[in-house]
Chains A and B, each alone.
Chain A
Amino acid sequence: MAEEFEPKIVAFLCKWCSSAGSDLAGVSRMEYPPNVVPIQVMCSGSISPLYIFSAFNKGADGVLVSGCHPGDCHYIKGNLYARRRLNLVKRLLEYVGLEPQRFQMSWVSAAEGTKYTQIIKDFVKELKPLGPQAKLRRK
């Protein structure tokens, strides 16, 4: 039996909201696929476009960036800069032909363990039919 393709996802989670939301999913013993490896950063505002491109370059099939809802950023407005910057990154990646489902951004608060779980489940489901990301991956 051919092994099913398991997408590799890197998730950048902001410490104060999204990582805490992910922790809550754990405390609540929710279940989601193990395809996502999290990297905790201080703020979604600290996500440089270089991280996204590099993640794809190193073989990520999907990249998730998750931060606090607008107005709730622990550092006041880092997420609002992320919102603008990463919108440009997303549009640029789509423009050169990368499948739009591969780069996703979400607002997950510390109380939204359920939302985080659902986002991961949906992300893995959307990526499976696309197969491995070979376009930006270094050979």
Chain B
Amino acid sequence: MQKYVVRRLLLAIPVLLLSSLIVFALMRVMPGDALTALMGESGNVGERELAKLRKDLGLDRPYYQQYALWLWQMASLSPGDSIFTNEPIAVSLKKAIPVTLELAALAMVIGIVIAVPVGVISATRQDSASDYVGRVVAVSGLSFPEFWLGTLVITFAAIWFHWIPPIGYVSFWESPWRNLQQFLIPAAVLGFRLSAATMRMTRSTVLEVLREDYVRTAWAKGLEGRIVVYKHALKNALIPVVTIVGGQLGVLLAGTVVVETIFALPGMGRLTVEAILYRDYPVVQTNVMLVAATLVTLNLIVDLTYAWLDPRIRYS
């Protein structure tokens, strides 16, 4: 197992290097730079002033130098400063990561809490009314885009209840109640979306497992239905579900920008999108690398979880 983990970690190095090269190149291919964005709508800048500002921001250096410097900064875990705001990137990340993590974690919990029981009920009562309701809910979750659902929720909450989640992020430690008010609705929007795929996967794998010989044996032994389903069938049925959930967590870390925007949460998504729009190269590059590293790690964790869920799986 140890060897397997070490090999996977070594394999991650070329993946991360390739990712770094791609994101670095893509950012340079995009027209404009941080200075252009910074200029706002002025035209009050002469060529000399522009050149000076560009030099101050390090944008006049050759690309290979910019890339080498950035790699060095990443390797030494000191990603440098935003060229747009001068704020150390580590500080920006320290503010944004907890927001996205909290949102993702709550969304995952809500998603799983909805998906697994509904999926199991749907499978165990196949073609019944509850199965159809569950499937409709799942299809709805897959069909409603987050931006539409989020906008709908916030608009109707304002009209019907004269209430929306308080705007202006506060951390959980500052005010747990206010923080939860801010996060529960966006997490529910995300969670509803996530639950759809998980629910469908749970339903189909539980259906499959319920037809296995060992489950038939359990029924034949006269075990209680709940024990057959939850103790014998569900554990095996969860293996593909874990894969889905693992993938979803990675997507959540990088893809909550729409919900963050609608609910005014200052997470990783908004940080990255703003940095792309402002051509804040170091911030985009660092964020992308962080997401890439997280995905690599999550994939490893998912693979290792397989072994725990299914003792037949062994890595060597």
Q: Do A and B bind each other?
A: no
